[in-house]
Amino acid sequence: MRHVTDDDDPYLWLEDVLGEEALAWVAERNAETEAELAADPGFLPLKERLRDVLDASDRIPYTARRGAYLYNFWRDAHHVRGVWRRTTPEQYRKDDPDWEVLLDVDALAAAEDEKWVWAGARVRRPDLDRALVMLSRDGGDAVVVREFDLATRAFVEDGFQVPEAKTRIGWIDADTVLLGTDHGPGSLTDAGYPRTVRRWRRGTPLEEAETVFEAEASDVSAWGRYDTTPGYERAFVGRSLDFYRSETYLLREDSTLVRLDVPEDAEAYAHRDHLVVTLKSPWLGQPAGALLAFGFDAFLAGDRTPRVLFTPDERTALAGHVWTRHHLVLEVMRDVSTHIEVLTPAPGGEWTREPLADVPPFSAAGIVDTDSDVSDEYFLDVSGFLQPSTLYHGHIGGGSEVLKQAPARFDTSGLFVRQHFARSADGTRVPYFVIGPDPAAGGPGPTLLYGYGGFEVSLTPSYGAVTGRAWLERGGTYVIANIRGGGEYGPAWHQAALRAERPRAFEDFAAVAADLVARGITTPAMLGALGGSNGGLLMGAMLTRYPELFGAIVAQVPLLDMLRFHKLLAGASWTAEYGDPDVAADRPHLRDLSPYHQLSADRSCPPVLLMTSTRDDRVHPGHARKAAARLRALGHPVLFHENTGGGHAGASDNEQAAHNRALVHTFLWRNLAPAGA
C-alpha cells in the first residue's frame, strides 16, 4: 500500500479544529469509545475511586512564600475550578489551616459565563500588594491577564488588562510592566509566541507600549524579565532562537543592550553578584552539564574565570538548583535517584559544600519553595513510588521538621520497587524502574510501560495515587523507562536522540519492553505502553516499528504527523528537537519518524486508544484525529476520545481528569489482563 504523503492526505479536513464536519466526526468517535469503555461494569466504580483521589481534602497544599503569606491554588469536590488562597506560616502548621480566599474561579466562571481555568499569578515585589492574574479559556495555553488587588481581593477596574494571547508579562514597578503579547500583524513569531518585548506604563493604551526589544519572526519567542531583588534591580531581555538556543541581554536604563556572552545553548541568569551558567555543551574547559558561577560585573568586564559548582559524570547529572538568601541548593541525580547538596559562597570566591538531607533509595526530592530575598528557609518534598510525599520545613544550618505528610492512597501490600538496566540496540545501558508484585511469586502479569524520551525531561520516582488505585492495586506492574531524549544523565543523554537520532529513544523503549519479557515480568500480550505529547510520538513509533512487543497502546495528546507538525499551532518551536520538514536534508528522516506516514495495512497493530483535546493549543488535535481516521480506514483496532476542554493537559477539572484516566485504565485492563482477572 502506498504511504500517505503531504500532498494526498485525505484527512486534512480533520485539522479544522472547530469545523462542523470535523466536530461531527469527533462526536461519533467519542460515542463509540464511551459505548465501548464507559459501559464496562468496572468503569464507574474506578472513576469514582480516581475522583476521590483527585478531590481528597487531605492532600498536601503546596505553597509559595510571598512575604508574610503562603499562597496556594486548590481544587476539590467543592471547588471544581479552584480557589486562589493564602494563609500564614503559623496557620499552615495546623492540620486544617484558616485560608483567606483571594479569588474563587468557580464563582468568576459562573458570573462571566466563561470556562475559566487558573493559569497562575505574578505577585508584585517588593510591595506584594498587587498581582497579575492569568486565566485560560477551558485550559488552553493562551491566557487573558488582569491586575488584581490583594488587599481588596478584587480585580483592579482600570488596571493592567491584556486580551487573550500567549502572553508573557512581569512587573517592573507599581506602574510599569514588561510585556510580550499579540499586538496584531507582525508581533508574533512563526511559532505563535510574542516577537517583541514592550515597556507598558499604567494609564497608557496597550498599543502605545514602548518596544524595547524585538526578535526575528523565525525565532521561537522574545522575552523580558525584571529583577526586583533589592539593590540589584535590573532588566533582562532576550530571544529564543529555537527550543535550546537563546541570547540574553542586560537592558540598561538608557535602553542600550549588553549581551551576556555565553554559549547560545547555555542557560544563564543573574542572581545578586553572580552570573550562573548551566552548560549544554563544553565551554571554558568545562563539560556539558556543568554548573558555573562568575562575578556578574567581572563577567561583563571580560573576566571568564568560572567557579565550578557542579561537574557531571557518566552516572550523575544536575536535576535543578534553587537559591535561598545565602545558599545555593543543588538537586543531583545519580542513576535517577536524587541527592540534595547545599553550596555556600565564601569570602575570596570559594564555595563550600555539604549535604542537606538523606534521601531514601529510589526516591525523588526537590525544593518546592524558598524566599531568596529574605531568608534561608526552605520547603523540601520527598516521595517514592510507594511512599506518599513528606513535606519538610527547615532553615539551612538550623535543622528541619516534618511539616505535612500525605496519607497513603492505595494498598502497597506485596509491592516492590526495583531498578533494572536494559541494553539498547547500540549497547547503551538504559535504566528503568519496576513497581509491582514479585514475578517470581506469581509469574508474568499485566504490565504498563510509560515513557517520554524528549526535550531533556527526566522521569524521576514519585508517588502516583491514580496509577496505584487504577493499576497496581488490581495486580498490575508499572514500569517507567528512562530512555534517551530525556535528561536523566544530562545533556548528552538528551542530545543522543535529537533530530535524525530520534530512533535511539525508540530503540531504548523497545529494549526495555523486551527486557521485561526476558525477566519474566510480563509477556507481549500482557504488556501495554502509555505516553503523552512527545511521549505520544513514542507510542506512535511503537505502533509502527515494534507492534509485536505490545498488547495495547495508549497515546495522549500525541504528536504523530511529523511532516506537518511545524505548521500546526506551537509546532514550529520544536524543529530543534526533531528537524524542519521544510528543510530538504531533514525531510527524509522526519518521514521515517512520522507514525502517521508509516501506518500500513501490511502489518498488524495492537489495540490503540488515542486521546486529545479540542482546546489543546500546543499539540494540535489533528494529530490524533487523523491517525485515528487512518487506522480505521486500514482496518486496525482503534478507539478515539477527544475532550472538548482541558488544553494540553487533556482535562480542565478533576471530573474530566478522572473520566479520562478511567477510560485509559479500563481500556488497558480489558486488553492486557488475563480473562477473569
Q: Where are the domains of the chain?
A: 20-51+416-672, 312-408
- The pLDDT value recorded for residue 636 is 97
- The pLDDT value recorded for residue 135 is 98
SS3 call for 282: coil
- The pLDDT value recorded for residue 213 is 98
pLDDT in tens, 274-292: 999 999 999 999 999 999 9
- The pLDDT value recorded for residue 676 is 61
- 648 is known as an active-site residue: yes
Q: Do the Cβ atoms of 401 and 380 come closer than 8 Å?
A: no
CB under 8 A, 24+ apart: contacts of 535-540: 535/450, 535/451, 535/452, 535/453, 535/454, 536/560, 536/619, 536/623, 536/624, 537/454, 537/562, 537/593, 537/595, 538/451, 538/452, 538/453, 538/454, 538/483, 538/505, 538/506, 538/509, 540/595, 540/596, 540/627
* Position 40, amino acid: D
Q: Do the Cβ atoms of 197 and 223 come closer than 8 Å?
A: yes
C-alpha cell at 139: 485550559
Strands 377-384 and 390-395: antiparallel
The total of other beta-carbon atoms located within 10 Å of residue 346's CB is 9
- For residue 610, what are the β-bridge partners? 555, 640
C-alpha cell at 451: 515513557
* Position 294, amino acid: F
How far apart (Å, rounded) are the C-alpha atoms in residues 360 and 52? 28
Q: The cell 466526526 sits on which residue? A: 25
Q: Tell me the mean pLDDT in the region 29-48.
A: 97
CATH topology of domain 20-51+416-672: Rossmann fold (3.40.50)
Q: Catalytic residue among 648, 652, 659, 665, which? A: 648
The separation between the first and the last C-alpha atoms of the chain, rounded to the nearest angstrom, is 39
Q: Do the Cβ atoms of 521 and 439 come closer than 8 Å?
A: yes
- 281 is known as an active-site residue: no
Q: Catalytic residue among 187, 337, 363, 533, which? A: 533
**Band of the pLDDT at 223, cuts 50, 70, 90?**
very high
Where are any strands of DSSP class E within 346-411?
351-357, 363-370, 377-384, 390-395, 400-405
- Does 3 score more than 70 pLDDT? no
- Does 122 score more than 60 pLDDT? yes
Q: Do the Cβ atoms of 198 and 207 come closer than 8 Å?
A: no
- The pLDDT value recorded for residue 1 is 34
pLDDT in tens, 289-315: 999 999 999 999 999 999 999 999 999
Q: Do the Cβ atoms of 601 and 535 come closer than 8 Å?
A: no
**Band of the pLDDT at 677, cuts 50, 70, 90?**
low
- Does 176 score more than 50 pLDDT? yes
* Position 445, amino acid: G
Q: How many CA atoms lie within 13 A of 223 on its CB side?
A: 14
How far apart (Å, rounded) are the C-alpha atoms in residues 197 and 218? 16
Q: CA geometry: angle at 578 spanning 573 and 584, to 5°?
A: 100
Sign of the Cα pseudo-torsion (90, 92, 98, 101, in order): positive
- Does 594 score more than 80 pLDDT? yes
Q: Tell me the mean pLDDT in the region 60-89.
A: 97
DSSP notation for 262-273: S-TTSEEEEETT
Q: Tell me the mean pLDDT in the region 525-551.
A: 98
**Band of the pLDDT at 6, cuts 50, 70, 90?**
low
Q: Which of 449, 444, 446 is nearest to 433 (CA)?
A: 449
Residue % of the chain over a pLDDT of 90: 93
- The pLDDT value recorded for residue 292 is 98
C-alpha cell at 215: 526578535
Q: Tell me the mean pLDDT in the region 586-593.
A: 97
How far apart (Å, rounded) are the C-alpha atoms in residues 244 and 200? 28
* Position 122, amino acid: R
Q: Tell me the mean pLDDT in the region 657-667.
A: 97
Q: Tell me the mean pLDDT in the region 607-623.
A: 97
How far apart (Å, rounded) are the C-alpha atoms in residues 633 and 655? 32
Residue % of the chain over a pLDDT of 70: 99
DSSP notation for 520-570: TS--GGGEEEEEETHHHHHHHHHHHH-GGG-SEEEEES----TTTGGGSGG
**Band of the pLDDT at 652, cuts 50, 70, 90?**
confident
- Does 211 score more than 80 pLDDT? yes
Which strand (E) or helix (H) includes residue 107? helix 105-112
* Position 52, amino acid: D
- The pLDDT value recorded for residue 363 is 84
C-alpha cell at 81: 475550578
How far apart (Å, rounded) are the C-alpha atoms in residues 306 and 303? 9
pLDDT in tens, 348-400: 778 999 998 777 788 889 999 999 999 999 999 999 999 999 999 999 988 89
Q: Do the Cβ atoms of 34 and 637 come closer than 8 Å?
A: no
- The pLDDT value recorded for residue 362 is 85
My answer on whether omega of the bond before 185 falls inside 30° of 0, hence cis, is no
How far apart (Å, rounded) are the C-alpha atoms in residues 638 and 644? 20
**Band of the pLDDT at 7, cuts 50, 70, 90?**
low
Q: Tell me the mean pLDDT in the region 524-552.
A: 98
- Does 55 score more than 60 pLDDT? yes
**Band of the pLDDT at 257, cuts 50, 70, 90?**
very high
Q: How far is CA 198 from the centre of its chain?
A: 28
Residues 6+ apart with CB under 8 A from 109: 81, 115, 116
Cβ burial of 615 (10 Å; 0-12, 13-18, 19+) is buried
- For residue 507, what are the β-bridge partners? none
C-alpha cell at 382: 520527598
Q: Do the Cβ atoms of 90 and 53 come closer than 8 Å?
A: no
Q: Do the Cβ atoms of 431 and 419 come closer than 8 Å?
A: yes
pLDDT in tens, 627-639: 999 999 999 999 9
Q: Give the least confident one: 133-137, 481-485, 591-595, 643-647.
A: 643-647
Residues 6+ apart with CB under 8 A from 618: 141, 533, 557, 569, 570, 647, 648
Cβ burial of 192 (10 Å; 0-12, 13-18, 19+) is buried
- The pLDDT value recorded for residue 364 is 84
As a whole number, the mean pLDDT across the chain is 95
Q: CA geometry: angle at 254 spanning 251 and 256, to 5°?
A: 50
C-alpha cell at 587: 525531510
